[in-house]
Chain A
Amino acid sequence: DAGVIQSPRHEVTEMGQEVTLRCKPISGHDYLFWYRQTMMRGLELLIYFNNNVPIDDSGMPEDRFSAKMPNASFSTLKIQPSEPRDSAVYFCASSLASGGSSGNTIYFGEGSWLTVV
């Protein structure tokens, strides 16, 4: 089975440009998460969706960040305008939580490595 698929794997962009990161979760999973990893702050949850609906976006750093999930097989994380401090690895992850139970495994993509210069 295909895992979580993210694109692009690497992106270098100039400050002020719009950046769009894409994610295809594992088929059938009903939860989708966006995490950011930096040396300074470690792994941070930015936002997560349940059945395509955003549930908690309290981790989104500021209004320059937005995320959407138009259908069960696709999500985007957009940064506009981008800044050098947004340089990080952005991970998408998905899980299946049948009946709302916890303890199910979250599967991570390979990450999108973003550098803003």
Chain B
Amino acid sequence: AQSVTQLGSHVSVSEGALVLLRCNYSSSVPPYLFWYVQYPNQGLQLLLKYTTGATLVKGINGFEAEFKKSETSFHLTKPSAHMSDAAEYFCAVSKGGGNKLTFGTGTQLKVEL
């Protein structure tokens, strides 16, 4: 079975600091991995995804993630946090069948002045 684990349900950073949100996956086959962001009272928006090819994936709003097979990880990073980055972030793995997604439990990112 495929699943993802997000370490840390809440992460707090200072504005301008590095953002690091952790995601580890378990999969018996090469996975398709996604990061989604959910702003308060809104739906989910795709930040980035890894399917095949380059293991460093760049997404919207300055975010990027690196697929590391040896570590079974797909951590999300951003060099410099902005107040507008405050949101909940979900890591997800595709389970085939039209890309049925299995989500992690989410990480709430707080950005402080």
- How large, as a class, is the contact surface on chain B? 20 to 34
CB distance from B15 to the nearest CB of A (A): 27
Number of interface residues of A (CB under 8 A): 26
Instruction: Say yes or no for A45: interface residue by CB 8 A criterion.
Output: yes
- Contact partner of A104 (CB less than 8 A), chosen from B99, B105, B106, is B99
**A109 and B97 alpha carbons, distance in the complex (Å):** 20
**SS class, residues of chain B in contact with chain A:** loop
Taking a contact as CB atoms under 8 Å apart, the answer to whether B49 and A103 are in contact is yes
Known: A31-B99, A33-B100. A42 touches B94 (CB 8 A): no
Taking a contact as CB atoms under 8 Å apart, the answer to whether B97 and A103 are in contact is no
Contacts of A45 in B (CB 8 A): 100-102
Q: What mask results when residues 50 to 83 of chain A are scored 1 for a CB within 8 Å of chain B, else 0?
A: 1000011000000000000000000000000000
B residues with a Cβ closer than 8 A to A are 32, 34, 36, 41-46, 49, 51-52, 90, 94, 96-106
